[in-house]
Each structure stands twice: as structure tokens, then as C-alpha cells.
């Protein structure tokens, strides 16, 4: 009997992504170029790690180092230009893998693809065809075979062509010869784009800081920029009805009520200030309704049929527009990272931790991913004790791993009063540079304050802040990563707290000095969220009830250049946790979400944490 060709199925765990270290590239000192470098010159800009190729007076960014290796498999001289010299060469596209050089697959899918000119993925339909095209090692990764696993976010740089059903339907050598250089690739992609009438590809990877830009003007008619004005609470309220809009409690913006739980004795809110509530394109919002994780469409508020039950620490995966990433339920001894496709309602296991990892510590592991979706930090119980870790979701490998028991045996002396103090939270810096640990004890000793570690090796780097007040990690407009927090001793006005901005990673001894942005009265410090655009955070102020002062009971924007924009009064009594506003901002700055009981004070006795709803402030485009 003749067997039909088997469909291809490659286990993701069998794939090892090749990594070419930057040390393999020879570098010239940085220069300010008088004329554009020749085509196909490989260069860097300033201290940025990104590699570019010159093509017709433009820069083309390599999307990752494995892609770079398909064009330059051996050592390559690189030219380092100053940032100002690079600015003369506009970044107009990205470099995809050289056609015919490799075959690729997604981490979570079995299908494999050949690459045709210029950047077209063609599905290889079965193993026989793959072996005929690339040999018996077609399903092996480098250096043995041609297979590469690309993060799903990088597949958007390719288009999809006809499947390859026979070995004669594709010639790898011919495809390579059609595209001899990066300049040829850029020209072919541009021509194909013009023929299709499509837009150019996305900007360079989000891990690369954008050049500093001047702060945008504050739009007229929305918000109050006066930091000294006292605005007492009026008689108006937030929208009383579900899906209703109002501007009564705002300073020129519109606020919309997006849940309807309080009237039924429940609550509706986003998860937390340090987490992004909105999907990358603002199509969906992730909520907690009566203790259940729920996804709703932002336009219609319709609930999306995706099951988020029995999981820990869900949050949006920023590399994928409509995907939620979470840890499993801890119901068995295996610890897994799960991906939820909101559009399809599906759940897949993205990564399984080594067998020694037993369960996730949910509260400590609930901070944001890096902006590019690659890195996630957390804390897990293992066979050898609690471990702080960084996980590379793009390559499905663990980076830094810090055993708490070992830390307190070596670098960290236990707290004399409380012993070995656990972290408050564990995360990664927004640009994926550092593993960040917020300890529960203050001070400049090891395992105190906000510490940073090498995200891959776990080497201690520095301390950004020596306290553990509410705060959030963010990125300034010049690409500097920071931690903004409430500092309780402002040097310009002794005894009053203010927003302190501490740059990462911080020195190995002591901590980063704070740049103070704004004074506040005692009792007004609640939450800080820096999940929006670079250079701005949204602040939630409380109310102590003694007297009315500037910012009291408000939600407002704090810019890193010192400006403020007061948006609205949240009108919550804050009588319980679920009605603490804890505002957070969409990545593009269009929406600010917060919780409120709208002045109803619906908190009972015992463990009643409040009954309220979620509200969204709608801001004009370009607001932030």
C-alpha cells in the first residue's frame, strides 16, 4: 500500500532559534557622516543595538539577528554613525529574511513556510516536499538545518503566497539569486507595495527608543493645565446609565460608563493601574466583573466569548493585537504560559516551564510585559524554593533566574525584624532591558527598594529607588526608562510628597536621585500608571475629606517635563478596593479607564470591597 504524504507537524519545543551575538560584528568608532554611506553598508546609530542596511539613501532595519544572518552569515564590518548622521537617512522599512535561505514557522503552529522573493511566505504542504527542497534535516534548526522559529509578531512583515505542493514548484537557489542584496530587496518590496496600493511596513521594533521629540501642545478645550487651581466637587455625577456618556464631572472631555454591575450588587472594573486594559488597537477592553475576567468590545460593549476561567495574571500580549497571555491555574504540578486568541476564542499553551517549576505566585507576577511583547517577569514556587525569573516569550527560553533562598544566603542580609522579605512585585522594564524587582522593604541595602538585574543573566545592576510606594515603570520621550513613584519627602517643600521620577537602571550603591515633578497634599496619593504614550503618566488622586485642595479626587496626566493636564473628578468614595479608581491609559493615549461608585458609598461590612462600575474618559487624537 502506498501511503499518502503526512502533513507536517513540528513540536515547538524541538526548535532552537539561532542567536548571533553582537560581539561577532566588527565596529568602527562613531562618526558623523558627511555623505550617505554606500548601498548595503551595515550600520548602527549611536549606542542603539539595532542593525541597519543602507538602501538608496534610506535605512532598512533588520528585524532580528537571525534575519541578519541570512544576509551576512559570517563576520561583517559595521559602521557606527552618530544619531544626527543617522537622522539624514530616513528609516523606511524592515529587512526580512533573504528569500530561499531558510524555512520558518510560528512558535505555536506546526506549519512551515519557504520564503519567496521578495518577502512572500509559501506553505510547504508536507514532509516529502520539504525534504526534497531542503534535505533530510529540513526540520532541524541551525547549525544542522534550515528551520527557524520566528515570533508571531514578525510574521506581519511578510505576505502569504501560493502553497508549495510539489518539489518542482520552488527553487531556493533561484529565489536567492533574484534578491542579491538588501537594496534589491527594498526596491522589490517597494514596487510590490505600489502595485498593491498598500502602506509601508510598521516602524522599527518597539525595543528601540525613538528619537527625542518636542512635547506636544495641550489641546484647547480639554483638561485644565493649572496645577494650583482648587476645584471643589460639584453636584453633578458620572453617567448613571450603562453605555451613557457625560461631561459633567470632567474638564471638557467625555466620560462613558462601560459596565453595569453595581445596580445588580456587583462590581465592574479594569484589573489594575500598572496593567494595560486596552488591546493594542483599542478594539477590546479587559475587565474584572464580579471576580470574573471578561473581554468586551469597546465600540459596542458586547462580551466576547473567550473563556478566561482558571488562569492567573491575565494581560494583553502587546506583540499580538488581540491576544491575552496568562499563567495556568496552578491546579497541577506543571506551570504553563497560555495564549488566548480573543477573535477565535481559543486557548493554546505557549510555554511549559521546566519540571522544577511548580506554581506561579500570582500577585508578584502580575506586571506588564515589555512593549514588544518579548519579556515577561514573575515569581514561582519551585522544588528548590521561590524563584524570580524573566521569560523570553519570543524564543521560549528562561533568562534571569534568581533563587530567593540563595539570595538571602549570599548578597542579601535578611531583614533583622521580618527575616527574608519577599518581593512586592516582579516585572520587566518597558524596553526589555532589565528584570525589575520591587521589594517590600525600603533602604539602600540589597533586596530593598526597586532593584534592576540583567534580564538574561540575573546579574545585579542597580537600584532605581529606595522605597516601595505606589508607582509604575515608563519610558520618557528620549527613550530613557524610568520609575515614577510617590516620594514622601520633596526637597523643594519639606514635608510634602510629590511625584518622583527615577531613571533605570540605577547605581549599584544607593539609588537613582529623583527628579521631582509635582507637589501634592497628604492624602491625595493613590495610583500612578505609565501605560500610555512615552513621556506621560496618569495619576489617580485620593481625597482625605478634611479640606479641598488641587488635584483632590481627580484623574490627571503628569508629563515628565513637569506639565499637568487635569481630566476629571472620579467621584468615588473609595470605600472599598473595587471602587478605588486606579486609572490606566491606553497605549496611544486616547482612553483613560477608571473605577468609581459614583458617590453612592456602596460598601457593606465584612469582606464587602465595594460596588461600582468602570468608566472610560475619551480623549481627542493627539491628546497626550
pLDDT, tens only, 376-427:
999 999 999 999 999 999 999 999 999 999 999 999 988 777 788 889 999 9
**What cell does 564 get?**
499637568
Give the pLDDT confidence score for residue 605 in this predicted structure: 62
Q: Please give the Cα distance from 422 to 447 (Å, whole number).
A: 9
> What is the structure's pLDDT at 194?
55
Q: What is the rounded average pLDDT of the residues 231-244? A: 85
pLDDT reading at 480 higher than 70: yes
- Cβ of 409: how many Cβ atoms within 10 Å? 11
Quickly count: other Cβ atoms within 10 Å of residue 84's Cβ.
12
pLDDT for res 197: 42
Continuous segment of H or E residues that includes residue 611: none
Euclidean distance between CA atoms 396 and 374, whole angstroms? 9
Task: Write the CB contacts of 217 (distance below 8 Å, at least 6 apart in sequence).
Answer: none
The radius of gyration of the chain's CA atoms, rounded to the nearest angstrom, is 26
Given a cut of 60, is residue 22 above it in pLDDT?
Answer: no
| Each residue's pLDDT tens digit, 49-61 | 778 888 888 888 8
* CB contact at 8 A, 530 and 507: no
Q: Dihedrals φ, ψ of 246, to 5°?
A: -160, 160
- Band (pLDDT 50/70/90 cuts) for residue 343 is very high
Task: Identify which of 588, 578, 613 has the alpha carbon closest to the alpha carbon of residue 531.
Answer: 588
pLDDT over 90 at 473, yes or no: yes
Map grid coordinates 493627539 to a residue.
622
| pLDDT for 451 beyond 50 | yes
Whether this prediction's pTM lies above 0.95 is answered by no
Grid cell locating 423: 518581593
Hey, how many other C-beta atoms are within 10 angstroms of the C-beta on 7? 10
pLDDT in the model for residue 492: 62
Length of the chain: 624
What is residue 9's predicted lDDT score, i.e. its pLDDT?
33
CB 286 within 8 Å of CB 340: no
Higher per-residue confidence, 313 vs 150: 313
Task: Compute the mean pLDDT over every residue in the chain, rounded to the nearest whole number.
Answer: 84
pLDDT tens string 482-540 = 999 988 666 665 567 788 999 999 999 989 988 989 887 777 788 999 999 999 999 99
DSSP state at residue 365: G
Q: Which segment of 114-118, 219-223, 292-296, 455-459 scores lowest on mean pLDDT?
A: 219-223
Cα 205 from Cα 371, distance rounded (Å): 10
Residue 143: is the preceding peptide bond cis (ω within 30°)? yes
Q: Which has the higher per-residue pLDDT, 124 or 209?
A: 124
591-619 pLDDT, tens digit each: 999 999 999 988 876 557 889 999 999 99
Amino acid at each position: 500500500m502506498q501511503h499518502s504524504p503526512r502533513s507536517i507537524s513540528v513540536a515547538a519545543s524541538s526548535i532552537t532559534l539561532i542567536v548571533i551575538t553582537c560581539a561577532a560584528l566588527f565596529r568602527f568608532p562613531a562618526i558623523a557622516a558627511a555623505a550617505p554611506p554606500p548601498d548595503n553598508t551595515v550600520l548602527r546609530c549611536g549606542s542603539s543595538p539595532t542593525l541597519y542596511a543602507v538602501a538608496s539613501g534610506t535605512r532598512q532595519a533588520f528585524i532580528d539577528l537571525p534575519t541578519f544572518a541570512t544576509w551576512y552569515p559570517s563576520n561583517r564590518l559595521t559602521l557606527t554613525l552618530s544619531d544626527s548622521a543617522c537622522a539624514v537617512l530616513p528609516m523606511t522599512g524592515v529587512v526580512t529574511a533573504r528569500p530561499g535561505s531558510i524555512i520558518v514557522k510560528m512558535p505555536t503552529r506546526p506549519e512551515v513556510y519557504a520564503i519567496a522573493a521578495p518577502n512572500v511566505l509559501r506553505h510547504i504542504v508536507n514532509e516529502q516536499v520539504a525534504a526534497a527542497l531542503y534535505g533530510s534535516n529540513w526540520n532541524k534548526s541551525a547549525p544542522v538545518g534550515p528551520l527557524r522559529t520566528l515570533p508571531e509578531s514578525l510574521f506581519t512583515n511578510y505576505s502569504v503566497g501560493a502553497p508549495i505542493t510539489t518539489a518542482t514548484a520552488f527553487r531556493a537557489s533561484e529565489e536567492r539569486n533574484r534578491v542579491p542584496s538588501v537594496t534589491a530587496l527594498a526596491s522589490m518590496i517597494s514596487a510590490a507595495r505600489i502595485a498593491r496600493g498598500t502602506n509601508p511596513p510598521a516602524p522599527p521594533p518597539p525595543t528601540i527608543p525613538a528619537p527625542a521629540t518636542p512635547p506636544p501642545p495641550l489641546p484647547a478645550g480639554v483638561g485644565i493645565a493649572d496645577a494650583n487651581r482648587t476645584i471643589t466637587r460639584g453636584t453633578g455625577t458620572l453617567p448613571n446609565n450603562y453605555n451613557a456618556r457625560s461631561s459633567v464631572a470632567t474638564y471638557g472631555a467625555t466620560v462613558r460608563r462601560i459596565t453595569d454591575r453595581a445596580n445588580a450588587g456587583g462590581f465592574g472594573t479594569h484589573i489594575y493601574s500598572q496593567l494595560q486594559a486596552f488591546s493594542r488597537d483599542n478594539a477590546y477592553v479587559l475587565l474584572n466583573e464580579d471576580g470574573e475576567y471578561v473581554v468586551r468590545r469597546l465600540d459596542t460593549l458586547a462580551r466576547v466569548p473567550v473563556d478566561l476561567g482558571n488562569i492567573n495574571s491575565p494581560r494583553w500580549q502587546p506583540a499580538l493585537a488581540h491576544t491575552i497571555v496568562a499563567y495556568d491555574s496552578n491546579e497541577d504540578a506543571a506551570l504553563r504560559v497560555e495564549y488566548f486568541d480573543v477573535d477565535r476564542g481559543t486557548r493554546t499553551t505557549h510555554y511549559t516551564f521546566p519540571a522544577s517549576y511548580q506554581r506561579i505566585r500570582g500577585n508578584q507576577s502580575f506586571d506588564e510585559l515589555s512593549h514588544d511583547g518579548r519579556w515577561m517577569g514573575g515569581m514561582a514556587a519551585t522544588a528548590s524554593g521561590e524563584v524570580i525569573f524573566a521569560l523570553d516569550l519570543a524564543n521560549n527560553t528562561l533568562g534571569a533566574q534568581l533563587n530567593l533562598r540563595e539570595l538571602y544566603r549570599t548578597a542579601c542580609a535578611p531583614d533583622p525584624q521580618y527575616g527574608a522579605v519577599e518581593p512586592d512585585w516582579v516585572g520587566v522594564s518597558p524596553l526589555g532591558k532589565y528584570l525589575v524587582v520591587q521589594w517590600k522593604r525600603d533602604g539602600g541595602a540589597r533586596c530593598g527598594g526597586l532593584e534592576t538585574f540583567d534580564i538574561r543573566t540575573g546579574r545585579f545592576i542597580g537600584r532605581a529607588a529606595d522605597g516601595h510606594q505606589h508607582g509604575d515603570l515608563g519610558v520618557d520621550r528620549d527613550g530613557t526608562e524610568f520609575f515614577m513613584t510617590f516620594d514622601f519627602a520633596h526637597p523643594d517643600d519639606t514635608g510634602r510628597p510629590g511625584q518622583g521620577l527615577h531613571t533605570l537602571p540605577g547605581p549599584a550603591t544607593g539609588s537613582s536621585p529623583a527628579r521631582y515633578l509635582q507637589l501634592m497634599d497628604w492624602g491625595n496619593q493613590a495610583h500612578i500608571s505609565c501605560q500610555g504614550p512615552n513621556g506621560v503618566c496618569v495619576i489617580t488622586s485620593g481625597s482625605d475629606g478634611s479640606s479641598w485642595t488641587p488635584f483632590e479626587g481627580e484623574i490627571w496626566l503628569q508629563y515628565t517635563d513637569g506639565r499637568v493636564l487635569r481630566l476629571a473628578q472620579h467621584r468615588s468614595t473609595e470605600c472599598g478596593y473595587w471602587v478605588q479608581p486606579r486609572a490606566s491609559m491606553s497605549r496611544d493615549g486616547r482612553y483613560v479607564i477608571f473605577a468609581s461608585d459614583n458617590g453612592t458609598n456602596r460598601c457593606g461590612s465584612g469582606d464587602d470591597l465595594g460596588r461600582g462600575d468602570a468608566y472610560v474618559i475619551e480623549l481627542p487624537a493627539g491628546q497626550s
